[in-house]
Amino acid sequence: PGETKIELDRRRIRARMAKLKAEIARMEPARRTQRRARRRGRVPSVAIAGYTNAGKSTLLNRLTDAGVLVEDALFATLDPTVRRARTADGREYTLTDTVGFVRNLPTQLVEAFRSTLEEVGAADVLLHVVDAAHPDPVSQVEAVRSVLSGIEGADRIPELIALNKADLATPEQLAVLRTAFPDSVALSAKTGYGVGTLRAALEDLLPRPGVLIDVVIPYSEGSLVHRVHEEGVVEREEYAAEGTRLVARVDEALAAAVRAATAPRADE
């Protein structure tokens, strides 16, 4: 006898899972390289996570003008989309859109997408996007957190909850969510409402460079000046005969590079 519809559906699902696993395996080397490069550059990172159809890709578009695929489908975002952005004070950071979640996600799928979800564990901030207009958003938050609890490092990352689609939610729905998640931000990625508030809250959670430097960098080291601007927070910049004077906050690795470039040479 021929296959029943259920058997046919199961076979198609297994074939789809096998294809997705193969695609992820092909993309993993590139993702590892990208993560290493971002860590070397000390660029802070934000991972965007959320239940499927919460509006993650739309929010990423709003925050970065990325032009990302927007699709109402589980795991529409298979390969994490990484875009760069800047804070109001000039600090660069990355935003990574991860896969969408559903409740009771099969263990096989969690394992298949583990390498993709590891973007969350490697991030400095988790931006958790919630559909505020959904009938039961709290359970969706719990479902996402349940999956992420199995990702190494995810439990140590500051979480900022973005109550998206606030323009479609009732005042009562928003009141319930603000009570459940006091530090959340209500917004609409579609209209732009509340996005400025979200940016400010996000920027406050990003790690700040902790080493204050006050140095004169020779003009021959122009690339180092550029690096300080890219990776640090420049508080003052002046031009002198011997080079560029910078007062800035940078991380320890960059501070060491600056000290090495500006240290007096033995023959001087």
Domain for residue 267, yes or no? no
Q: Is the pLDDT of residue 105 over 70?
A: no
Instruction: Answer yes or no: do 221 and 180 share one domain.
Output: no
Q: What angle do CA 151, 155, 158 make, to 5 degrees?
A: 125
Q: Is the pLDDT of residue 198 over 50?
A: yes
Predicted confidence band of residue 111 (pLDDT cuts 50, 70, 90)? low
Instruction: Answer yes or no: do 242 and 161 share one domain.
Output: no
**Average pLDDT score, the chain:** 82
Backbone phi and psi for residue 233, each to the nearest 5 degrees, phi listed first: -120, 110
Q: Is the pLDDT of residue 262 over 80?
A: yes
What residues contact residue 266 under an 8 Å CB cut-off, 6+ apart? none
Instruction: Answer yes or no: do 145 and 220 share one domain.
Output: no
Instruction: Answer yes or no: do 249 and 154 share one domain.
Output: no
Domain for residue 268, yes or no? no
Instruction: Answer yes or no: do 79 and 156 share one domain.
Output: yes
Q: Is the pLDDT of residue 40 over 80?
A: no
Rounded mean pLDDT, 121-147: 93
The residue range of the domain holding 120 is 5-205
Total domains in the fold of the chain: 2
Instruction: Answer yes or no: do 127 and 218 share one domain.
Output: no
Instruction: Answer yes or no: do 160 and 248 share one domain.
Output: no
- What the block records as the tokens of 65 is 């003008």
pTM above 0.75, yes or no: no
Domain for residue 196, yes or no? yes
pLDDT at site 115: 61
What residues contact residue 140 under an 8 Å CB cut-off, 6+ apart? 50, 51, 54, 101, 103, 130, 131, 134
pLDDT at site 195: 96
Rounded mean pLDDT, 185-199: 97
pLDDT tens digits, one per residue of 155-183? 889 999 999 999 999 999 999 999 999 99
Rounded mean pLDDT, 22-47: 62
Instruction: Answer yes or no: do 33 and 147 share one domain.
Output: yes
- What the block records as the tokens of 15 is 């074939």
Q: What is the CATH number of the domain that holds 179?
A: 3.40.50.300
Instruction: Answer yes or no: do 234 and 188 share one domain.
Output: no
* Exposure on the CB side of residue 254, measured as CA atoms within 13 A: 29
Instruction: Answer yes or no: do 117 and 146 share one domain.
Output: yes
